Amino acid sequence: MKKIKLKKPVVYSLCIAISMLLLGGLWYADTSQKSLKENDEDLNYVSRLFEDNVVSVVNTSASIVKPYTNTNVKALNNFYDYKSDEKTQQNAIINYDTTYIQNNGVAYGGINDTFDVVSVLPGTVTSVKEDKLMGKIVTIEHENNVITTYQSLSEVTIKEGDNVAQSTVIGKAGTSNLEKDLGNHVLFEITVDGKYINPETIFGKTIDQLKSN
Which one, of 201, 184, 183, lies nearest residue 79 by Cα? 201
Of 160, 152, 164, 149, nearest in space to 196 by CA: 149
- Whether the pLDDT of residue 44 is over 50: the answer is no
* Claim to verify: residue 8 and residue 87 sit in the same structural domain: no
Answer yes or no: do 3 and 40 share one domain. Answer: yes
Is residue 33 located within the same domain as residue 105?
no
83 is in which domain, residue-wise?
74-212
pLDDT at 12: 56
- The pLDDT-based confidence of 20 (bands split at 50, 70, 90) is low
Which CATH number goes with the domain that contains 113? 2.70.70.10
81 and 153, same domain (yes or no): yes
- Taking only the tens place, the pLDDT of each residue in 54-76 is 433 334 478 999 999 999 999 99
pLDDT at 65: 97
105 and 167 assigned to the same domain = yes
6-24 mean pLDDT: 57
Q: Are residues 201 and 147 in the same domain?
A: yes
* Choice between 13 and 98, residue whose per-residue pLDDT is larger: 98
Kindly state whether residues 83 and 32 are assigned to the same domain. Answer: no
Asked if 104 and 13 sit in the same domain, the reply is no
For the cut 70, the answer to whether the pLDDT of residue 77 exceeds it is yes
Cα distances (angstroms) measured from residue 142 to each of 66, 69, 149, 153, 166: 15, 20, 11, 20, 10
Mean pLDDT to the nearest integer, 187-191:
97
Q: What is the pLDDT of residue 211?
A: 83
The pTM is what? 0.70
Helix (H) or strand (E) holding 34, with range, is: helix 8-52
Residue 67 placed within a domain: no
Beta partners for residue 106, in sequence order: 188
Q: Which tens digit of pLDDT belongs to each residue from 196-210? A: 999 999 999 999 998
Higher pLDDT, 6 or 134: 134
Whether 111 and 47 map to the same domain: the answer is: no
pLDDT at 41: 47
Does some domain include residue 63? no
Helix (H, G, I), strand (E, B) or coil at 8: helix
Beta bridge partners of 107: 187
Same domain, 156 and 193: yes
Highest mean pLDDT (candidates 19-28, 43-52, 75-84): 75-84
Q: Is the dihedral of CA 67, 70, 71, 73 positive or negative?
A: negative
Q: How many domains does the chain have?
A: 2
Establish if 64 belongs to a structural domain.
no
Looking at the domain assignment, is residue 183 inside a domain? yes
Confidence of residue 82 (pLDDT cuts 50, 70, 90): confident
Q: Which residues pair with 185 in a beta bridge?
A: 109, 174
- Condensed to tens digits (0 to 9), the pLDDT of residues 109-166 reads 999 999 999 999 999 999 999 999 999 999 999 999 999 999 999 999 999 999 999 9
